[in-house]
Amino acid sequence: GAVVSQHPSRVICKSGTSVKIECRSLDFQATTMFWYRQFPKQSLMLMATSNEGSKATYEQGVEKDKFLINHASLTLSTLTVTSAHPEDSSFYICSAWRGAYNEQFFGPGTRLTVL
Amino acid sequence: QQQVKQSPQSLIVQKGGISIINCAYENTAFDYFPWYQQFPGKGPALLIAIRPDVSEKKEGRFTISFNKSAKQFSLHIMDSQPGDSATYFCAAPTGGGNKLTFGTGTQLKVEL
């Protein structure tokens, strides 16, 4: 399968700070990437769809000013959690869509803890 | 919005046994149904996927059975091993394009 990386894997920050998470597709170009959030023992919740060269599309209920997404190249999408608060603590996972096969490949996830 | 109903929520199987997880989906014009395997603290990994032009797909010990008329598909894990202990998610296309809606997950435990 295709390889998707995420950085950092774990981050702890103070309330009010901003955190940037990077998602890279290492061996294929991804015109579309997705950002998910997952709470313990729950399913994946799609937050937004990131399209290279255009604005991200956010799911209902997701604050676009809080979760800034940039898809600047065909291999890199970033998620910035602005003014993070403890309730933003979660496991954030990105995926990259490999269009030729209509498959999504996931990164290893980023554990965000806001103190 | 696509709904995907997955069962059971949890499953305990003896080593060497067969694990079966079921999913049901709503109307869809798309043709791609994947299963993902997730270990604690890791991202989901694509395990196997099927397109509904076939009723079954097998890869090693993993088999997807697909029933288009019933809008159901299931994952069978043959000769289950302790290393298979993980959470499994089914998914189905939704909202047009390439978005997926995931099932609620099944926590599988394979006991010795």
Q: What share of chain B is helix, strand, coil (3-state, %, to 5)?
A: 5, 55, 45
Q: How far apart are CA B30 and CA B3, in angstroms?
A: 14
- Element containing residue B45 per DSSP (H, E): strand B45-50
Strands (E) located in chain A: 4-7, 10-13, 19-25, 32-38, 44-51, 57-58, 67-73, 76-81, 90-98, 103-106, 110-114
Contacts with A32 from chain B: Cβ below 8 Å: 98
CB-based contact A44 B89, cutoff 8 Å: yes
Q: How far apart are CA A97 and CA A103, in angstroms?
A: 6
CB-based contact A106 B44, cutoff 8 Å: yes
The per-residue pLDDT for range A50-67, each reduced to its tens digit, is 988 889 999 999 999 999
pLDDT at site B26: 85
- Write down the residue that tokens 């996830």 correspond to: A109
- Report the gap between the CA of B8 and the closest CA in chain A (Å): 14
- Examine residue B34 and say whether the peptide bond preceding it is cis (omega within 30 degrees of 0): no
pLDDT at site A102: 76
Give residue B97's pLDDT band: very low, low, confident or very high (50, 70, 90).
low
pLDDT at site A23: 97
The per-residue pLDDT for range B20-69, each reduced to its tens digit, is 999 999 866 767 899 999 999 999 999 999 987 889 999 999 999 999 88
Give residue A3's pLDDT band: very low, low, confident or very high (50, 70, 90).
very high
Residue to mutate among B28, B36, B39, B46, with most A CBs inside 10 A, is B46
- Element containing residue B12 per DSSP (H, E): strand B10-14
Of residues B32, B43, B107, nearest to A102 (C-beta): B32
